[in-house]
Structure 1
Amino acid sequence: MSDIQEGCGDLPQRRHARRRTGLIMSAVLAGIAGTCVAVAPGQATPVANISMSEETTDVAAFYAAPADRLVGAPGSVIQLRPIDGDPGVEGARNYLVLYRSVDMRGNTVAVSGTLAVPDGDAPPGGWPLISWAHGTTGVDDSCAPSHDTSADFPAHDYTSLVRKVQAQWIAAGYAVAQTDYQGLGTPGPHGYLIGTAEQRAVTDMARAAREVDPEIGTRWVAVGHSQGGQAAVFTDAQAQQWAPELQLLGAVALAPASHQGIGLQASQMATNTGAAGALGPLTGGGTAFLPLIIRGAQTVADVDPARFLTPRAAAMVSLADTGCIAQLRDSQEWGGIPPGEVFSPGGDMSTLTRVLNENDPSTLTFTQPLLVLQGRADTTIPALATDAMVMRQRAAGRPVQYRAYPGVDHRGVLEASYADALSWVNGRFGR
């Protein structure tokens, strides 16, 4: 391991170097000061071909893998670098990872994410793994959680809160991997709320985590919040078939997005009857998520927003391409459009609602246990929607447990439910 010691100096993982094998064997010092990037043994195009004199001095270049570097199996690692500070998780060795996944057109794509491994020695069987699916930050590359290196990050108030909860998982002895999702941080469009694309990113991140650190075990659980809650349910339904070499023990979905198609249809109907403002509490409130939903649907279908939005709203869809959710909520952007001025009366929204209904987690078939956690005071993902999702899943015989928290809002459920989530996950791992 002399290469990594010489190339990476006093990195946090140095004291573990002698007991680790696999990916971190051919590290080189790239153009970013203190950055160590590596590739899996036997990969055709080693990262050593990236010299310090090239554009790698730009951190963004890490996320843009050349086409000839994309060849490889889903979950295999393209390159990585250690993380010092944000977006790392306290109490762990942290890495920024670029890995391979497969998009909805069957193309191999690069996906970014982060990995946090507890300090110390792994337990027998390896570190139990949580593959974390994050909530909505946006669809522009700048909104990827792995870009959160300071309080200036547009979604820092959310991502920093998530990391505090993840630090509790680290302290409890779990490795935590978190994908940015396909097309978020990396080239290509982000399939926002496209469940299968999200599942592949979450599952392939679990694969990549084991390649980065072979002391991570083969057993894992998916945990997700909001957008990630929907992704967690899709992972529960599809991951075992996607990655049969790993053992998925179940999934935890916090405030999972569901019934989006029904919600938009209700909003459009309310516009037609002049009651749009009254439906806010029932349809998730706010309009800032709509351009993200449209951009996500456009990755799998020909969705023309001009067919169902007012001219003002249609002209503002492109704001999602340059701003994150906080900017979209601003009163000068989507946050300033009155609910009754979003949908055009009688507009044709059938293609969009079809995509959303096809990606509703309520209809999925799964056999692995699912834990659903929901705040009753949530106005982003209404508790009524989650109630309906769970009722439908239970009616179909799915193994679902459901816990709700009175007075807890959308973000508050992260901390409020942690003890219940930990107890449930511990039980899945037999801890």
Structure 2
Amino acid sequence: MSGNESARAEQPQRRVSRPLAGGLTGLAAVALTTLSLAAPVMATPVTPEEAAASFYAPTEERVAGTHGSVIQLRPLTGDPALAGARNYLVLYRSIDMRGETVAVSGTLAVPDGTPPPGGWPLISWAHGTTGVADVCAPSQDTSPEFPAHDYTSLVRRVQERWIAAGYAVAQTDYQGLGTPGPHGYLIGTAEQRAVTDMARAAREVDPEIGTRWVAMGHSQGGQAAIFTDAQAQRWAPELQLLGSVALAPASHQGIGLQASQLANSAGVAGALTPLTGGAMAFLPLIIRGAQTVADVDPARFLTPRAQSMLGQADTGCIGQLRQADSWGGMAADEVFTRTADLSALTRVLNDNDPSALSFTQPLLVLQGRSDTTVPALATDAMVVQQQAGGQPVQYRGYPGIDHRGVLEASFNDALAWVDTRFGR
């Protein structure tokens, strides 16, 4: 994003529902007008980094407002924009787990052309793990130097297929990722609020987006999509959630950590690695997420070396944490003490496991059978529990497909399922 994009569009007092200049609608047109007027009168040039920091950190008085309403936006060109669409960087309001209004960032892509009757069908996308540090927010991926570019660029190619199929695509960064405050990694309700409020904000930006929508997510975002399926209709009753699609959803994280610790205590550390999905690189993110809702003291279960490395999660993204000289190079016996007390941490993880959720909207779960990040056995167990509880779940597996490969491998099945939900 260039310095010329640094001027910010203030939220209008009312939504504009009629098309404006250049085919734009509502806040989007206001944003472009404000940008064109404000840019020439800037007294002091700012760097792209300064512009980004300013956009993501509004003043406290500007954050107050209704959850799902827009604080500010600006048009996007280049990454992370999607081809075939009008793209916006959006800052909107949500509610954190303490009940406080917070600013959340995200992106919106609206297909070029004329919307169908009822408005553009909307997908609110929940992204997979990038990290908990602000620099890991997918909306900040403006070049290959972005630390999670290999993942976020792959996701964008899939999202462009949804644009080509006639869907608007909104993607939240989640609470505290890019914006001030901690990111509640794997805290399902916080993720749901961000995903649902992103859908509300999308309609405020462009009223040509309809009221019907589907939540969709991968990995961390798959878990978020299931929580959205269970909670979103109450959170945003004016919208009609038609269902959710969860690709390789995170589940059974508490059991996986307990298994690793027990294997360590028994002197067979690493024996359960195929079942735990290489959880060590994700552990510092899990700890930071749990600390947003509970008093989790890492000293009760981490070795001194692991404690000294915990701060890497606050500055680096998942790619750095996976490196051999970081958490990715550590075995369970280097991470957990022999007398580790994981009770507080696993309690948070179990409370945020999607397996026991109740929901009435349909759910489609898509899983690569060769996934070693979210093992297929964990997803199998989740689906069995959900189906046994009478939840409306459909499940499809893809032999030979790994964690990221499921994004492309499952697209046609996901498209057919979502088209059916919208009656297309």
Kindly indicate whether residue 364 of structure 2 is the aligned counterpart of residue 374 of structure 1: no
Letter in 1 for 2:326: E
Aligned Cα RMSD in Å?
2.0
* SS of structure 1 residue aligned to 2:199: helix
Kindly indicate whether residue 325 of structure 2 is the aligned counterpart of residue 340 of structure 1: no
CA deviation string 1:76-108 (max 9, x = no partner) = 000101110100111111100000000000000
Alignment-derived partner of residue 45 in structure 1: none
Alignment-derived partner of residue 186 in structure 1: 179
Q: 1:263 aligns with which of 249, 256, 271?
A: 256
Letter in 1 for 2:218: H
Structure 1 residue 229: Cα displacement: 0.1
* Distance in structure 2 (CA, Å) of the matches to 1:224 and 1:54: 41
Does the CA-based 8 Å contact 1:222-1:252 persist in structure 2?
A: yes
Map 1:281-300; keep pairs closer than 5 Å: 281-300=274-293
CA deviation string 1:247-266 (max 9, x = no partner) = 00000000000000010000
* SS of structure 2 residue aligned to 1:287: helix
Does the CA-based 8 Å contact 1:74-1:102 persist in structure 2?
A: yes
Alignment-derived partner of residue 229 in structure 1: 222
Does the CA-based 8 Å contact 2:28-2:74 persist in structure 1?
A: no
Kindly indicate whether residue 42 of structure 2 is the aligned counterpart of residue 52 of structure 1: yes
Q: 1:121 aligns with which of 114, 119, 122?
A: 114
Identity, % of aligned positions: 75
* Distance in structure 2 (CA, Å) of the matches to 1:94 and 1:197: 25
Q: Structure 1 pair 16/151, CA: closer, same or farther in 2 (3 Å)?
A: farther
CA deviation string 1:13-50 (max 9, x = no partner) = xx9735544223543678xxxx679xxxxxxxxxx799
* Distance in structure 2 (CA, Å) of the matches to 1:152 and 1:116: 23
Provide structure 1 residue ranges, at least 5 long, that are not aligned to the other structure.
Answer: 1-6, 9-14, 38-47
Does the CA-based 8 Å contact 1:253-1:372 persist in structure 2?
A: yes
* SS of structure 1 residue aligned to 2:242: strand
Q: Structure 1 pair 56/249, CA: closer, same or farther in 2 (3 Å)?
A: farther
Q: Structure 1 pair 36/340, CA: closer, same or farther in 2 (3 Å)?
A: farther
| Range moving further from structure 2, 344-353 or 413-422 | 344-353
Q: Which runs of 4+ in 1 moved over 6 A?
A: 48-51
CA deviation string 1:258-279 (max 9, x = no partner) = 0000100001000001112111
* Distance in structure 2 (CA, Å) of the matches to 1:305 and 1:288: 15
Q: 1:158 aligns with which of 141, 151, 164?
A: 151
Size of the aligned set, in residue pairs, is 405
Map 1:77-92; keep pairs closer than 5 Å: 77-92=70-85
Q: TM-score, normalised by structure 1?
A: 0.91
Q: Structure 1 pair 36/377, CA: closer, same or farther in 2 (3 Å)?
A: farther
* Distance in structure 1 (CA, Å) of the matches to 2:26 and 2:46: 24
* Distance in structure 1 (CA, Å) of the matches to 2:279 and 2:231: 31
Structure 1 residue 215: Cα displacement: 0.1
* SS of structure 1 residue aligned to 2:197: helix
Q: TM-score, normalised by structure 2?
A: 0.92
Alignment-derived partner of residue 233 in structure 2: 240
Structure 1 residue 170: Cα displacement: 0.3
Letter in 1 for 2:407: L
CA deviation string 1:182-235 (max 9, x = no partner) = 000000000000000000000000000000000000000000000000000000
Letter in 1 for 2:226: V
Alignment-derived partner of residue 130 in structure 1: 123
Does the CA-based 8 Å contact 1:36-1:82 persist in structure 2?
A: no
